[in-house]
Amino acid sequence: DARVTQTPRHKVTEMGQEVTMRCQPILGHNTVFWYRQTMMQGLELLAYFRNRAPLDDSGMPKDRFSAEMPDATLATLKIQPSEPRDSAVYFCASGLNFGSYGYTFGSGTRLTVV
Amino acid sequence: DQQVKQNSPSLSVQEGRISILNCDYTNSMFDYFLWYKKYPAEGPTFLISISSIKDKNEDGRFTVFLNKSAKHLSLHIVPSQPGDSAVYFCAASTGNQFYFGTGTSLTVIP
């Protein structure tokens, strides 16, 4: 089964530290998303890429978050500096365009900032 | 601004009965609606979708209904099974944006 791989699965860090989360999308998928799951907001879209180009990152706090796709097999989400309110589960998903197709999610990175 | 809303955070249903999960949306430009299921410590998995030009789509025990005039969709699970216990997210897309609701936690009681 093809799967989206996210690393690390868990990350505990101190406030002010840099955090990098990585995602390996399914080979051949041209759209990659980053979501954050919180209790209050459910699944929030942070950013997405089509064919490695960023299409929308309006959901991200720009001063501290950045998302990139250095190549088709790797997407990264970086937080610098991290804050306790960033504690959440971060999901990466990949798929083919929009529409009726289901997108495949990774298992998530659980981030705790203390 | 929450464009997709799931107003029931939780639902409990007896095994064998029907589970009905509801979702409301505000943007009339959404062209596809999807349901995802999520188990603890796992990512959401795609369950079923419906185009905005249809009012019903069925896949086995799962049926999604769309009422565009009311901007409402629902997921019916018949019969409900204990393995269906999970968080269900509805989602909607316009082609350029993709939005999720806050989820409904379904518990199927054996």
CB distance from A14 to chain B under 8 Å? no
| pLDDT above 70 (res B30) | yes
Q: What is the pLDDT of residue B1?
A: 67
Q: What is the pLDDT of residue A43?
A: 87
Q: What is the pLDDT of residue B22?
A: 98
What is the mean pLDDT of the segment spanning B23-30?
A: 94
CB distance from A53 to chain B under 8 Å? no
* Beta strands at A88-95 and A109-113: parallel, antiparallel or unpaired: antiparallel
Task: Report the gap between the CA of B85 and the closest CA in chain A (Å).
Answer: 18
Judge: B103–A42 Cβ closer than 8 Å, yes or no. yes
Set of chain B residues whose Cβ sits within 8 Å of the Cβ of A105: 36, 43-45
B16 residue type, one letter = G
Cα–Cα dist B43/A31, whole Å = 17
Long-range contacts (CB closer than 8 Å, 24 or more residues apart) made by A39-48: A40/B102, A41/B2, A41/B102, A42/B6, A42/B89, A42/B100, A42/B101, A42/B102, A42/B103, A43/A91, A43/B44, A43/B89, A43/B91, A43/B100, A43/B103, A44/B100, A45/B97, A45/B98, A45/B99, A45/B100, A46/A77, A46/A90, A47/A77, A48/B98
Q: Render pLDDT for B61-94 as a digit per residue (tens, 0 to 9).
A: 999 999 999 999 999 999 999 999 999 999 998 8
Q: Render pLDDT for A16-34 as a digit per residue (tens, 0 to 9).
A: 999 999 999 999 998 999 9
* Lowest pLDDT segment from A74-83, A99-108, B63-72: A99-108
